[in-house]
Amino acid sequence: MLRLVERPLPAPREGEVLIRVAAAGVNRPDIMQRLGKYPPPPGASDIPGLEVAGEIVGGVDAAVGRHVCALVSGGGYAEYCVAPLEQCLPIPVAVPERHAAAIPETFFTVWTNLFDRGGLKRGERVLVHGGTSGIGTTAIQLAHVRGATVFATAGTDEKTAACRQLGADRAINYVNEDFVTAVKPEGVDVVLDIVGGDYVPRNLECLRLNGRLVQIGLIAGSKSAFDFRPVLQRRLTITGSTLRPRTVAEKGAIARALEREVWPLLGRGEVKPIVHAEFPLERAGDAHRELEAGRAIGKLVLVVGERA
């Protein structure tokens, strides 16, 4: 369960800043942490919350007064949060501050996995599972605006329509249509998957010569049985990563790539964080229930200092 408590004001260490939080993003890892299945890394706050937006009010003197969004390893569900300055980014001009809290976790994750590890290029074809999740809505937009042909899966007609509005060329309702059948005639170059389990062999079926499967979630389980022959025959790559345990330097490098490649797109409104709903901080439990119910299209944010 989640409940509000009083904690001491967090103290920034060298290279860190103290942020007065305006809003915090809600993500599935927060739910896993609440259930005791995803403990924070050593040294991180035990308070949930992996992304925030707000004003820097302490720490590195030169940064005080800046309004930023930041990726953090924990502590986001709070009035104040510390973050390494390297993991902070300016709030894009076209994005409201509270919606900027929905940017870091998904944009960092999508950039490092879909474009760094997956190597998605202009003119290639990509399949995005969970198209209306925070990851999915981000991946569809970025892949589309960078010139890829985008396939996306979702579980309702409303959600597939949302995928198309975000830029998916083909949206597949997996309840009544097999995504392998839909994609396989020409295949795809990259699959971005949050499901795992029995999706793995089906994803491999979808990949063209030199295709890449990028695994970033295991909703259906961490184990899968599949025939390795297609991997050898079509020279496929299976990769994946997690973000939270990475070093500050690694996350900082992703931040600089985002600032260079993606922040201009956010500033012009060509891509944006998709926010399904806002909840006051004290209703964090309701936000978790909404996310667990699977109704959200995009992200949920917790707004600090406002009551229902």
Indicate if 144 and 196 belong to the same structural domain.
yes
The set of residues, in sequence order, having a beta carbon less than 8 Å from that of 122 and lying 6+ positions away, is 146, 147, 148
Biggest distance spanned by C-alpha atoms of the chain: 58
Tokens standing for residue 254: 């992703």
Share of the chain above pLDDT 70, in %: 99
Name the one residue in this structure whose structure tokens are 């001009």: 93
140 close to 128: Cβ distance less than 8 angstroms: yes
Tokens standing for residue 127: 């399949």
Indicate if 99 and 248 belong to the same structural domain.
yes
pLDDT tier for residue 156 given thresholds of 50, 70 and 90 = very high
Share of the chain above pLDDT 90, in %: 97
11 domain residue, yes or no: no
pLDDT at 274 over 80: yes
Q: What is the pLDDT of residue 307?
A: 46
Give dist(CA 175, CA 68) in Å, integer. 40
* Domain coverage including residue 180: 107-240
Task: For residue range 226-261, list pLDDT tens digits in order.
Answer: 999 999 999 999 999 999 999 999 999 999 999 999
Tokens standing for residue 305: 């200092």
24 domain residue, yes or no: yes
Total domain count, the chain: 2
Task: For residue range 47-98, list pLDDT tens digits in order.
Answer: 999 999 999 999 999 999 999 999 999 999 999 999 999 999 999 999 999 9
Indicate if 120 and 92 belong to the same structural domain.
no
54 domain residue, yes or no: yes
Task: For residue range 10-48, list pLDDT tens digits in order.
Answer: 999 999 999 999 999 999 999 999 999 999 999 899 999
Name the H helices within 59-198.
97-100, 104-110, 134-145, 157-166, 179-183
Out of 106-110, 168-172, 217-221, pick the least confident: 217-221
Is residue 18 within a helix (H) or strand (E), and if so which, with residue range? strand 16-26
User: What CATH number is attached to the domain comprising 91?
Assistant: 3.90.180.10
Q: What is the pLDDT of residue 306?
A: 63
Q: What is the pLDDT of residue 286?
A: 97
Q: What is the DSSP letter of 264?
A: H
Indicate if 270 and 156 belong to the same structural domain.
no
- 225-171-210-111 Cα dihedral, nearest 10 degrees: -100
Give dist(CA 9, CA 226) in Å, integer. 50
pLDDT at 308 over 60: no
169 domain residue, yes or no: yes
